[in-house]
Amino acid sequence: MAWGEIRKFGWVKQRSAWADIEYHRARRAEVASNDQSSMDAINNAVTAALQSKISGKANLAGNAALKRVQAAAKAKAAETQKQIDQTIKKLDTAQTAADAAGVLNDPIETPGTTLDTTV
């Protein structure tokens, strides 16, 4: 045997050039399909994460707005209650003053009756 001479044993059948090209074409298609599936999965995960983030921020903003509205309503209710209390206090003062002056002890005229002034 000469130096550099390659001996073939023939144990493994070689593919034809056409079969080899078809094998590599199918392999590239499979790899491209796997890559596309991976990219779709990543895209879906990122989309879901961003949607969740947007929903979370919207919920936080909504809750903050609700708290502001509730605080404003509570302040308005307190102000209204304060005004009611002040009005009741003024009515009580007026009632006390009227009772002391005897203003409300006079008979009330009703329509169709004659008031007796001979007392």
pLDDT digits (tens, 9 = 90+) for 26-67: 999 999 999 999 999 999 999 999 999 999 999 999 999 999
Give the span between the Cα atoms of 56 and 73, in whole angstroms: 25
Mean pLDDT, the chain, whole residue set = 86
Q: Given a cut of 70, is residue 94 above it in pLDDT?
A: yes
Q: Given a cut of 90, is residue 84 above it in pLDDT?
A: yes
Helix/strand/coil for 38: helix
* Domain range summary for the chain, segments of one domain joined by +: 17-102
One-letter amino acid at 74 equals K
Give the span between the Cα atoms of 25 and 31, in whole angstroms: 10
Predicted model pTM: 0.49
Of the candidate ranges 57-61, 88-92, 109-113, the one whose mean pLDDT is the lowest? 109-113
